[in-house]
Each structure stands twice: as C-alpha cells, then as structure tokens.
Amino acid sequence: MLVTQAERLNFSSIINRTEYPDFMDIQIKSFQDFFQLETKSEERGNEGLYNTFMENFPITDTRNQFVLEFLDYFIDPPRYTIEECIERGLTYSVPLKARLKLYCTDPEHEDFETIVQDVYLGTIPYMTPSGTFCINGAERVVVSQLHRSPGVFFGQSFHANGTKLYSARVIPFKGSWIEFATDINSVMYAYIDRKKKLPVTTLFRAIGFERDKDILEIFDLAEEVKVSKAGLKKVLGRKLAARVLNTWHEDFVDEDTGEVVSIERNEIVLDRDTVLDKDNIEEILETSVKTILLHKESAQQGDYAIIHNTLQKDPTNSEKEAVEHIYRQLRNAEPPDEETARGIIDKLFFSDQRYSLGEVGRYRMNKKLGLDIGMDKQVLTKEDIITIIKYLIELINSKAEIDDIDHLSNRRVRTVGEQLSSQFGVGLARMARTIRERMNVRDNEVFTPIDLINAKTLSSVINSFFGTNQLSQFMDQTNPLAEITHKRRLSALGPGGLSRERAGFEVRDVHYTHYGRLCPIETPEGPNIGLISSLSVYAKVNSMGFIETPYRKVTDGVVDIKGEPVYLSAEEEEEQMIAQATVKVDDTGKILHDKVIARMEGDFPVVEPSQVHYTDVAPNQIASISASLIPFLEHDDANRALMGSNMMRQAVPLLRPQAPIVGTGLERQVASDSRVLINAEGNGVVEYVDANEITIKYDRTEDEAKVSFDSDVKTYPLIKFRKTNQGTSINLKPIVEKGDKVVKGQVLCEGYATQKGELALGRNMKVAFMPWKGYNFEDAIVISEKVVREDIFTSIHIDEYSLEVRDTKLGNEELTNDIPNVSEEATKDLDENGMIRIGAEVKPGDILIGKITPKGESDPTPEEKLLRAIFGDKAGDVKDASLKASPSLNGVVIDKKLFARAVKDKRKRAKDKEDIAQLEGIYDKKFDDLKEVLVEKLFAIVGGKTAQGVYNDLGEEVLPKGKKYTLKMLNAVDDYTHLTTGVWTTDDYTNKLVADLIHNYKIKENDLQGSLRREKFTISVGDELPAGIIKLAKVYIAKKRKLKVGDKMAGRHGNKGIVARIVRQEDMPFLEDGTPVDIVLNPLGVPSRMNIGQIYETVLGWAGQKLGRTYATPIFDGASLDQINKFTDEAGIPRFGHTYLYDGGTGDRFDQPATVGVIYMLKLGHMVDDKMHARSIGPYSLITQQPLGGKAQFGGQRFGEMEVWALEAYGASATLREILTVKSDDVIGRAKTYESIVKGEPMPEPGLPESFNVLMHELKGLGLDIRLEE
C-alpha cells in the first residue's frame, strides 16, 4: 500500500470538535430544494419550482370558460454528459415537462373533453455534482446574494435645519413599496412606490376609516358628545376634534334620463380645533347635527399631536374623496368612476396576485410589531398599517428604537434556488400571458394544452439569467480552494441589491452579527471591499434565508459537550451571553474559570459562568475557509491576512504539489468537499489500477445485493490534463494499489493542488530572512537555481484553440492540409483534416488548424495571374484562413477533437433508417434483459407470498389480490415503471425491499432510455453544433512553465513578491552544515507589515522538516511559543531559527544571525510569460488614431503626461516630438517615415497629430468657428 500521510499533530485545546457542515451545501442543497426531485409531488411544500408553478396556475381565459391546471412536473435525463458539454461548448441541461390538465367549465361545450397532457417546457440548465452549471461549455457559478429582508424598517434622517425626520418603510417580496414619513411641520405622509406623497389620514379614509371620528378613535384621541342645549353647556371652552358638517339632501332632475336624483351636500359649520364659545353652540343647535367630536383633555398636547396636524393638512373628507385623491396622485389622471379608484388601493396592497410580503416578510413584520397574523396571510392588513403608524409615533416620541439595517437579521441570503424561482416566476408569468391570449382566440374548436404553450418563453428567460445576470459568474477554477470559495461567496451587488457607487461605509463595514456568519477577513481589495464576502466555515443558511451559526448550550455554568450544537440566527442571538470556545471545562463540561470573557451584542463583558447562555463551537468559527487555512493567523495584521487569504485562491496547481508541514487541520476537508477528487463510496478492495482508471469491488449487504442492478465492481476514470476555466490543468494520479482495502470516504487519487487527500497549493521551502546584495529590495525574492532545476515550482498550463467551419455565401469552407501558397515545411505536421498531430511542438507562427475559405472574384495580382496561366483557374478561388500560433505560444499538442454534423443525402438517410432500426433492436433486447433481471430479483423477494393487490398509476389492478406470486404472473406484467409501489405483501420489510428494487429499476430504465435517445441523435444529426457551423475543430496545447524572473510568489500571510534573481545554488547563503537555502526574503518586509505569523510558521516548519512531522495549528487556538520551542529543542535547531549563515560566494560567515526555517510558498497566477509583450506595427484606435493599449489588443505602451514631463526636463525635444507624432497618431507622418526607413532616406518632418484634429472638431462641435492660419 502507498504511504498515506501520518495524521497531523494537532495543537487545538478543544475536546469535542464539531463536524464542519458540507462546504458546498449552500449551492447543492439549495438547488435540490428548488427541484425537489427526491420528494413525492404530494409532499412538495410551498417552496421551489413547485410553488412557482402553483402561483401561476390555474390559468383561465377572460370568459372563465377554459381552465388550464397544473398537476406535476418531472425531468428527463440530460442528453449529454458534463464532459461532452464542456468539449462541445454545450449547456448541461435537462428537459422539463409539466403534466397539465385542460377542462371546460361551460356546459354548452359538451364535446370538449378534459385533457391531461405532458407538455415540454424547454431545457433547464442542471447543476453538476460539484455545484456548478455548465453553460455553453464553460463552468459557471451562481453566487448567493445578500439583500435586505422583506418586512418593515424604521429609520431616521435629518432635515437641513437639524430637525429629526422619522420613516417606516414596508419592503415586500413582490409588489409596491410604501413608506410613512414625517416632515418638518410634524405631519405624517405616506409615499407609494417613492412617488407622490399623501397625508396618512387620506390613506386611512381609503381603507375604511372614513370619518375623522374613526381615525381619532383608532388612537383613542376623541370623545363624542350628543348635541343638546344642556350637553353643550358642559363643554364650553373645549376644542373640536373634527369639523362640524351640516348634511342635507338636494333633489334635482337628470336631463338625460328624466329621473329624480338625490345628492348629498355638506356645509362646514365649524372648523377643526375651534374653541367652543356661546355663539358656536348656537350655530350647532341651529343645524341638524346629532353629535360632535371633542378632543380628550390629555391627548392634544400628548404624543399624538402629529395625527391632528395631519388631519389639518388632509384635503379629503370621505372614503370616496380619499380614493379619488390617491388615484389622481398615482395615475396623474381623473378616475373614471369610484370603483376603479377604489380598485387601485386594493390591487396595490391587498391583492395576492400583485403583492406579497413572502413568508419571511410576514415573519419579520409579526416579530417587529408584536402581531399574530397567520403566515399564510402575505398581503398587508389594516392592522399592519395601524400598528406601523403607532410604532412610528412611539419612535417620534423616543419610546422606540430605529432599526440597524446592517444587522444580519435585516439582511438575508438569496441562494441559487431562490434566484431560479424568481426567474421561473418571470418566465411562467410571460407564458401565462400568451396562454390566455391563445385561449381567448380559440373559441369553439377543440384544442390541447400543447397548442397553448410556447416552450421558448421559459427557456429564453432562464438562459438569459445564466448568460447575462451579474450573479451568474464564470467560475474561478485556478485551484480547488478558488472553486469552493467562489461557490460560498455572498454578494451585496446584483439585481435588487446595492451598486458599488451608492454603497457607503456602513454597509461595507464589519458588524457584530457577522460573528460566525460572514468572514471579517476575506473580501476583495478595491471598489468591492465589504460588498462581497465569504460564508464562515460553520455557517448555514436557514429556510428563511438568514445565516445561522452553531453554539453549544450552557446551563448553570455547564457546557453541553456531548449533544449537538444549536444553530442560532442573528436575531435569536440577541441578548444571549456567549463565551469563547477555548474556555477550560472538565469532563462533564463544567466551566473551570471563576470569570469568563463573553460576548453580548456588541460588547465584551466579563461575567461568571452561571450567566453564560452559550459557548462558541470552535475558535475558527468566525473565519471563512481561506482565512482558516492560514496558520498563526492570530499573529498577523488583518490587512495582510486579507491579502493572504485572497492570494491562496490565485495559487497555480504545481506539477508536484506538497501539503504544508504547518497546516491548520482544514486541508483534508477542503480537498474532499471541493468534489475534485474521487472518494470511495463504501468499504471495498481495489481490483485494478492504472494511470487512467481505478476499479474497486465494494462490499455489499445482502439487502443491497437483492435490490441492486449494478455489479458490485465500479470503475472510476481519472481526469487527465483537463483544461480549467483559468487555463491551469487538472491531472489526477491514483494513490492506491491493487489489493488495497479502502473505507468509505477514503481519497483514491491526488493531483490538481492536492496531495494524499490534502489541499496542497504550494511547496515547503527552506528560507532565510536576510538582505542579499540588494536583490531582495522592496519585496523582491531571491531564489536558488535548484528550484528551477528540480521543477519545484513548475506548472502545466493548457490552452484551447478552436476553429469553426461555416457555410459561406460563396460555398463551404474546408479543413485541409493543402493550403495555397504555403510551404510543405509549414504543413508537415498537419493531418488530412488540417489538424496538427498530437505530440507536435508548437512555435509562434505555426499552423495549428489548416482551413481554406472560398474567396470572391477580385482583380488577381501579377503573381496570381502567372499561377493561373500555369496551373489553370483552380489556385485563385480559395484563400488561407488557417489558425496560427500567437506570438508567445510555445508548447506541445496534447489533444485534438473534431466535431461534425451529419451530412444528409438520399443514401445516407436510407442508411440512417437501417442503423436506427438496428439500434432499437439492440436496445429492445437490453430492456428485455433488464426486465428479466427485475422479475428474477422480485421473485426472490416475494415468490410464494400472497399478493395484496398491486395497482398501476391509472388505478387498474395489475396483480390480483389473494393469489400467490409466481414467475409467470410477474413476467406477465407489461410495465413496471408505472406501478404504485404500495403494499405487495403483508410484511413491511418485504414491501420496503420491493419499493427500493422498483425505484432502482426505474433509474436503470431511465438511463437506458437516455442513452438510446443519445445514440439515435448521433446517428441522425451527428454532433450538435451552433447554427451555421458545419464542423468545429479544437486543439489543446500544453505549456510547461518553470519559475522565471518576474513571476509572482507569495506565502500564506500576505507576504508577496516578485522573483528578482535566480541564483546558482553554490552562490546562495548556506547553513553551518553546508545546506544552501532555497529562497532569501527581505527581513524589512516583516516589521512594518506586522505579519509575524510567517516567522512562527518558519520556525515550526523547520522543526517539522527535521522531525519528519506535519502539524495542524488551528487559528486562534494554535501552537504557543513554548510549544514551538519544545519542538525546536527536540529537533536540535536554534530557538526562533536564529542561525549564522555563510556567504556562498566567499565562504565567510555573515556578521549577524538570521532567521532561517521552512515556509510554505505559492506560485501565483500572475506569470511573466503572460505579461511579456512587444509591438512593432499594430492596430490603431479609430477616432484618435493612436495605438491601442494592452497585450490582448496587441497595443503599445502609453506615454503619459508625466513621461512627457520627464523628457521635457531633459530637454530631449526631438525624441519627444517623434514620440508624440510619427510614433503615435500623425497618420501621414508615420506612413512617410516607414517609407523613408525602407528606402534609406532621411526622416521627413512630422505633420499634425490626429488628436489635434479631434480637439478642433470638438471645439467646432461647441459652435466655435476655428481656422488654422498658415
């Protein structure tokens, strides 16, 4: 057996370590919950795709005659494997079908029967087992979004004059926003969709609190007094709370109809807030008013003054006026009638179709306002609005607190599943619209669900989401850590999120609720800092989308170390006292300290153990995966830790990777959860191993053998030199031998930045911290030639070059090695299809794929005329359109592929028919064989037992009750896939076996159907290629890149640098025993950067190398100085690595000891080969006529403002003039200069630069008449 690495020596002080959740859960689980394929349709709750269908169905036409109902959905297996999709540039997707039922409700339509049909809705990209989507051949990741949770938010702002303004905003899941806000005159307004404002009391009237009396009664602000002489005398001097209106009816004759119409008239007798005196009372008694409304004595000056102020400002008096006023404000038009006006409010906030708070919104709203409204009521209610206003008034009176919008209870995560749901929602809503239109057009004819549905609608929405949405990103695939981090990323950007420009400091900052949920370290540098973050190692996203983190429960100072940890969301964590994970406890979990430092909201009180509610589960719970991989992170400054965790994602997988001597214990989990390696699925024995595959025979229980159709031997093909998105290579090698026993979960191979099942991004290097002849000035790195010679930092990079063959107007293009006007030497490596042979070495300018294109008739050049005269007409009608190697390309061809459509002619069609018939015969046999095996296995389980009545899904009895099962009986059943796996026998155990067996049979049969479809398709269509393309040729070229001067390297602590010099091994400083160091770093890079972790790592790494051990030092719970000293003493190396070194050149000892040790170094993706660039003649910008910039555009180097100053300072006027004219944008001058160089004449005078002309045109554009005077 090959040696697997000995277990790392772990320095952690924690007794009972909590298992990490699966790092990919956030992607994979979310997608599974969305599709719910494992769940029976009747058990699918109101979530995911099922819920989206239920929201959009049933669909009825405008006359309510026809109804289209949704019953269920299912998917077929994908047509291609993931590998085929990547090779051919296709999308890995599954066909989605829905079972729909169409029936007619109109009794006159007797001939219209109810139709149930399975309708194809288009193909839907499907998630690969590693949590990615393969879209057009490229792996993409849908990043989760962190956005504001639906619900109600209370905030405050300041007016220019210093007045505090308060607001309450209701953010729904879908629908219109409504905001309530105060102004400087202490009046409360409602804003609908951030548009026009209206007094809150107008809204109250519109939702049914019509009279002032009703509004004031909500807040208990007024009392009613009956009008009578005696009664009114008692209230002299009190204020009116509402207007006194005298109402009477007036009759008039409608001229059009001649009817007598009665109209209600109002006259204001006394206004609001009038103080009652004798005259007023007289006026009231003269009218027919029955009651008046007076202010309650205490209330007017009290908290609710704002309601009275708002009533003063309210222009309306009744519900009718209110709804009409709102209609006018929102629509900027007069309402046609009262009904329409009333409908607008209902539609906006009280209609299930248009408005929804969502489950989350309702939950947050109930929680915040202390309401108890059912979770299924997801529209606004009157109670909601009233409670919000009351809370807002409390806020104004400083009796409540405003919300902190950066608190994680107010921000939630939209995972892949939810983002897809909302896209499906958009697609299905569009589809519903077309279905309705088609239903309305079909009047009396009979039609089916298929006639109503256009499958393009849905798939176009989904495809545009995957192709163009900001959150669907090209996967960062540099190494496994980059993949796993990309899938766990959370972005505050994207549709419905923030934009970089608008995001202030608060949103980007670290908040105390991020503890254990979002990593405070890992975030990009630059404009996105704080907007893009990473999920912490233990964090999970709960069903509502809030991030939870685990804690251990503490009761009376005793930690529950045996039980499962409790997951808490940010909201549940409020007011909890939480101690650190490193508190010392005895075996029962009793805390041994008298006082512990705890965390509560944003504070860190020191408390007694009895006051603690929870403890953390681990010290690295606050950090993300990347940050948790940095040993001694606790000794690094945060800025450098950030750079360190970001640079580990850029490490290029090396040819011979090595796991770090000093790790953190997380390396194994990252490698296994990244889904890159192959893990054993159970216990078994290795039967066969070579470089391309591993075969394992698994142990199986009797029951598994009874219900399985697979043999117990499984073969795993190993990935060989696959190109990643970033051009690095995945190449797996087996690490087991024939005859080895394997256990479940054991890693079977290594490669792609892993070694023996652990993440291995770089190499352990012998390092000295000392200056070396100034070559390691400013972070530069001096490295030994041995590193290059022994391929220590050599990596393999793969480029893919493809060429399409199209049919053009002039005829088809052609792949060939017979290319006009090209020497035999140039085409010697091409095969008959014009493709370069595998193994050929490629140099710049070589032909990779030869192609000729028909060319239109043009005047032949003299040479062509001659060729035509000699060889006839043929040579002139095609031109060379071959793919040639770019200027910097050197490498070896490792693979080539040619995809072609099937060419159709009569003979071919006839042959295809034969082939397909033959294929169907072969598959019929396979299906029969499969059924035979099923019947045998079934008989082995139920043979001789009495049938209990087995039915198919149409409810027909297939196996009659009371008969004993015989082989003949079981063979007679035609279709086993549509049986309900219900009660076969009276014995539950047997029934379970039968259910499992039939389930496995269905999977097998489905696979066979899929492969039959695929093979038929290959015969009839050939390879699936985009429209207009006949053939697609691909060539893969591998480059072996050794370490070079100019490559970027880094450690794990943000200590990055550029290789400045590669020094002969004998010239490197060496130790007393003659060992030269591999790498020399500048000691000045440490003190100012404050990343001392690298020194700890250096010393412990040296001890580990000497003792042949590897260590795990988890962050915040790692090795102490004393522990490191113990190991350095044991290894017999100086403490702190202080060693005298000797100069390689002279052999003299250096004056001072230097720190020496072993550090883990990475080679980063910024390699000098990709940056080397030179230009002689190249493309120019269209308008300014200046050379383009950048390597990709084959551009020049910018000679900017400051560079001009430099030449001016030296008085180098001729050079400067040349640079700014003939070498740049003097169009005529540069052509003349070229000519003069060719002919050997003196240089001409430069002319006018084009940029001067651009300036002139811009000035003319401003309307200035400018002429150049000679």
Give the pLDDT confidence of 108-148 residue by residue, as tens digits: 777 678 888 899 999 999 999 999 999 999 999 999 999 99
- As a whole number of Å, the end-to-end CA separation of the chain is 90
**Local confidence band at 873 (pLDDT 50, 70, 90 cut-offs):** low
Least confident of 62-71, 555-564, 692-701, 856-865: 856-865
- In this structure, of 291-300, 484-493, 879-888, the range with the lowest mean pLDDT score is 291-300
* CATH number, residue 1214: 3.90.1800
pLDDT tier for residue 312 given thresholds of 50, 70 and 90:
confident
What does residue 608 show for φ and ψ, rounded to 5 degrees? -80, 150
What stretches of 941-1024 adopt beta strand conformation (E)?
950-951, 957-959
Quickly tell me which residue has 């919104």 as its tokens: 361
pLDDT greater than 50 at residue 1:
no
Q: Can you name the residues that pair with 901 across neighbouring β-strands?
A: 1022
Read off the pLDDT of each residue in 1096-1123 and give the average, rounded to a whole number: 95
Reported as type and span, the H/E element at residue 214 is helix 212-218
What does the alpha-carbon distance between residue 900 and residue 898 come to, in Å, rounded to a whole number? Answer: 7
CATH number at residue 564: 2.30.150.10
Q: Report the pLDDT value the prediction gives residue 980, as an integer from 0 to 100.
A: 67
- Could you tell me if 841 and 695 lie in one domain? no
Q: Are 184 and 201 part of one and the same domain?
A: yes
Q: Is it the case that residue 1021 has pLDDT exceeding 80?
A: no
- Average pLDDT of the residues of the chain: 88
Based on the domain organization, do 1138 and 1218 belong to the same domain? no
Position 4 confidence tier, pLDDT thresholds 50, 70, 90: very low
Angle, helices 1201-1210 vs 1213-1220, to 10°: value is 150
Q: Is the pLDDT of residue 257 over 80?
A: no
CA 1 – CA 756 distance, rounded (Å)? 13
* Residues 176 and 316 occupy one common structural domain: yes
* 329 and 464 assigned to the same domain: no
1151 and 1183 in a single domain? The answer is no
Q: What is the pLDDT of residue 835?
A: 94
Closest CA to 429 of 120, 152, 52, 992: 52
pLDDT digits (tens, 9 = 90+) for 926-959: 888 888 887 777 777 777 777 777 777 666 777 7
Q: Pick the residue with more confidence: 51 or 933? A: 51
User: In the listed set 874, 901, 928, which residue is the last one of a domain according to the structure?
Assistant: 901
DSSP codes joined into one string, 501-550? TT--HHHHS--GGGTTTB-SS---SSTTTTTEEEB-TT-EE-TTS-EEEE
Instruction: Please tell me the number of Cα atoms within 13 Å of 950 on its side-chain side.
Output: 26
Could you tell me the pTM of the whole model? 0.89
**Residue 1014 placed within a domain:** yes
Residue 1160 lies in a domain: yes
Mean of the pLDDT values across residues 1072-1099? 96
pLDDT of 969 strictly over 90: no
Residue 523 belongs to some domain of the structure: no
Same domain, 247 and 112: no
Q: What is the DSSP string of 692-749?
A: SEEEEEEP--HHHHHH--S-SEEEEEPP-SEE-TTSBEE--EE---TT-EE-TT-B-E
Contact between 241 and 293 (Cβ < 8 Å): yes
pLDDT at 335: 84
Output 177 or 1025, whichever has higher pLDDT.
177
Beta bridge partners of residue 532, listed in sequence order: 491
Position 103 pLDDT exceeds 90: no
> What pLDDT does residue 5 have?
53
Cβ atoms 929, 946 nearer than 8 A: no
Residues in the chain: 1270
- Asked whether residue 298 carries a pLDDT value surpassing 70, the answer given is no
Burial 1181-1202 (b: 16+ CB within 10 A, else e): eeeebbbeeeeeebbbeebeee
pLDDT (0 to 100) of residue 115: 86
Compare 506 and 253 and report the one with higher pLDDT.
Answer: 506
Neighbours of 560 (CB within 10 A): 17
Indicate whether 234 and 85 sit together in one domain: no
Identify the band that residue 654 occupies on the pLDDT scale cut at 50, 70 and 90: very high
The CATH number for 404's domain is: 3.90.1110.10
Residue 419 corresponds to which tokens in the numbers above?
């983002």
Cβ neighbors of 573 (< 8 A, separation 6 or more) are: 513
Spell out the residues 6+ positions from residue 280 whose beta carbon is closer than 8 angstroms to its own.
270, 274
376 within some domain: yes
Residue-wise over 488-501: b if at least 16 C-beta within 10 A, else e?
A: bbbbbbbeebbeee
Q: What integer pLDDT is reported at residue 2 of this predicted model?
A: 39
> Edge-to-edge, what's the strand order for the sheet holding 9-10?
9-10, 1111-1112, 662-663
* 1049 located within any domain: yes
402 shares its domain with 428: no
* Amino acid found at 1225: D
In the structure encoding, which two tokens stand for residue 589, read together? 């979990």
Choose the weakest-confidence range: 799-813, 829-843, 1006-1020, 1026-1040. Answer: 1006-1020
Q: Is the peptide bond before 960 cis (omega within 30 degrees of 0)?
A: no
Per-residue pLDDT, 957 = 75
In a domain, 640, yes or no: no
**Coil/strand/helix, residue 598:** strand
Phi/psi of residue 1159, nearest 5 degrees: -125, 150
646 pLDDT more than 60: yes
Task: Identify the top-confidence range among 60-64, 232-236, 590-594, 677-681.
Answer: 590-594
The pLDDT tens digits of the residues spanning 698-757 come to 888 777 777 777 778 889 999 999 999 999 999 999 999 999 999 988 889 998 999 999
The pLDDT of 62-78, averaged and rounded, is 87
pLDDT at 3: 41
* pLDDT tens sequence across 492-536: 999 989 998 888 899 999 999 999 999 999 999 999 999 999 999
Tell me, what amino acid is at 962? G
pLDDT (tens digit per residue) in 536-562 = 999 999 999 999 999 999 999 999 988
The residues facing 292 across adjacent strands are 225
Angle between helices 1121-1131 and 1093-1107 (to 10 degrees): 30
Question: Do 230 and 213 belong to one domain?
Answer: no
Q: Domain check: are 961 and 892 in the same one? A: no
- What per-residue confidence (pLDDT) applies to 301? 54
What are the pLDDT digits (tens) for 896-914? 999 988 777 778 788 888 8
Domains in the chain: how many in total?
9
Q: What is the pLDDT of residue 859?
A: 67
Over pLDDT 70: what percentage of the chain? 96
DSSP single-letter state for residue 39: S
pLDDT at 641 over 90: yes
Determine what percent of the chain is predicted with pLDDT higher than 90: 52
d(CA 846, CA 1047): 27
Alpha helices in 8-129 (DSSP H): 25-35, 48-56, 82-88
Same domain, 263 and 311: no
Domain endpoint, select from 1021, 1036, 1060: 1021
Strands 722-723 and 596-599: unpaired
For residue 1196, pLDDT over 50 is answered with: yes
Residue 19, in any domain of the structure = no
Amino acid at 132: T
Range of the domain at 964: 906-1021
**What are residue 591's DSSP bridge partners?**
585
Secondary structure (3-state) at 653: coil
Whether 939 is covered by a domain: the verdict is yes
pLDDT range class, residue 225, cuts 50, 70, 90: confident
Alpha carbon distance 1100, 1121 (integer Å): 10
The lowest-confidence range among 712-716, 858-862, 870-874, 971-975 is 870-874
CATH of the domain at 867: 2.40.50.150
Domain of residue 690, CATH code: 2.40.50.100
Tell me which of 1138, 1169, 1200 is where a domain ends: 1169
Summarised one tens digit per residue, pLDDT across range 148-159 is: 999 999 999 998
| Higher pLDDT pick, 237 / 731 | 731
Query: Mean pLDDT, to the nearest integer, of 60-80?
Result: 87
- Among 77-81, 389-393, 815-819, 1094-1098, name the most confident range: 1094-1098
